[in-house]
Amino acid sequence: MNNRFTLDRLPILYSFRRCPYAMRARLVIAYAGIAVELREVQLKNKPQAMLEASPKGTVPVLVLPSSEVIDESLDIMSWALGLNDPDHWLETQSQAQSLIRRNDGEFKYYLDRYKYADRYPEHPIEYYRTHGELFLAELEQRLERNACLSGPRFGLADAAIAPFIRQFAAVDRDWFASSAYPALRGWLQNFLDSPLLAQAMHTYQPWSKNDEAVLFP
Higher pLDDT, 11 or 8: 11
180 assigned to some structural domain: yes
206 assigned to some structural domain: yes
6 assigned to some structural domain: no
Kindly state whether residues 187 and 96 are assigned to the same domain.
Answer: yes
Q: Give me the number of domains the chain comprises.
A: 2
| Residue 158, domain extent | 89-197
Kindly state whether residues 42 and 74 are assigned to the same domain.
Answer: yes
202 assigned to some structural domain: yes
Kindly state whether residues 118 and 135 are assigned to the same domain.
Answer: yes
**CA–CA dist 89, 81 (Å, integer):** 8
Confidence of residue 186 (pLDDT cuts 50, 70, 90): very high
pLDDT the model gives residue 9: 86
Kindly state whether residues 209 and 133 are assigned to the same domain.
Answer: no
